[in-house]
Amino acid sequence: MRLIVGLGNPGPQYARNRHNVGFMAADAIARAHLFSPFRKKFAGEFAEGAFAGVRAALLKPMTFMNDSGSSVAAAARFFKVPAEDIVVVHDEIDLAPGRLRVKLGGGTAGHNGLASIADHLGADFMRVRIGVGHPGDPDRVADYVLSDFAKAEREGWVEKLLAAIAAEFPRLIAGDEGGFMSRVAAALRPPKPLA
């Protein structure tokens, strides 16, 4: 059993925020792999499915970002999933928009959702870091991540990236982190011009 967590904040006012790209990814994964409809459970929205025979649960904590750990811990306890079998998908300001990195364990880099999960479960979970860029000024970070993606971003790299993450997610679950990252990156590269 694998537990996949998409981080975000509940409510329509946050739905298109950069900080909610984890929720967006969870929705894309659920659609692409025909997971059950989301239902309320574990102080979040929860769906079940599988990747090539590996049972999986998708969770979108509805506790607000700063308390995501309580929802994740409840689901992890229920399914008896250890931290190393949890994958957390989240926004990352230290990566350029559209870049993606996978990392097991490590610090939280000031991300309150990751910090909350680490407080409840320790730091040994996998992170799928989706780059949303940095506003350039540390004092503007909170407003930046809580602002919506521009329409050009949504219709450009955001939709392409989410589709690629969803399509390639079985590779990640199978343990091929490098293949997952390279296939997602390849999906975002513009096509080569014909000779």
> What pLDDT is stored for residue 61 in this prediction?
98
3-state SS class at 89: strand
> What pLDDT is stored for residue 123 in this prediction?
94
> What pLDDT is stored for residue 110 in this prediction?
85
Question: How far apart are alpha carbons 34 and 188 in whole angstroms?
Answer: 23
Kindly list the structural domains of the chain, giving each domain's residue range(s) and its CATH number in brackets, ordered by start. 2-188 (3.40.50.1470)
- For the chain, which ranges sit under pLDDT 70? 191-195
Question: How far apart are alpha carbons 32 and 27 in whole angstroms?
Answer: 9
> What pLDDT is stored for residue 126 in this prediction?
97
3-state SS class at 38: coil
> What pLDDT is stored for residue 162 in this prediction?
97
3-state SS class at 81: coil
The model's pTM: 0.95
Does the annotation mark 120 as catalytic? no
Given strand 44-51, what is the order of strands in its sheet?
Answer: 39-41, 44-51, 54-61, 2-6, 86-92, 126-131, 100-104
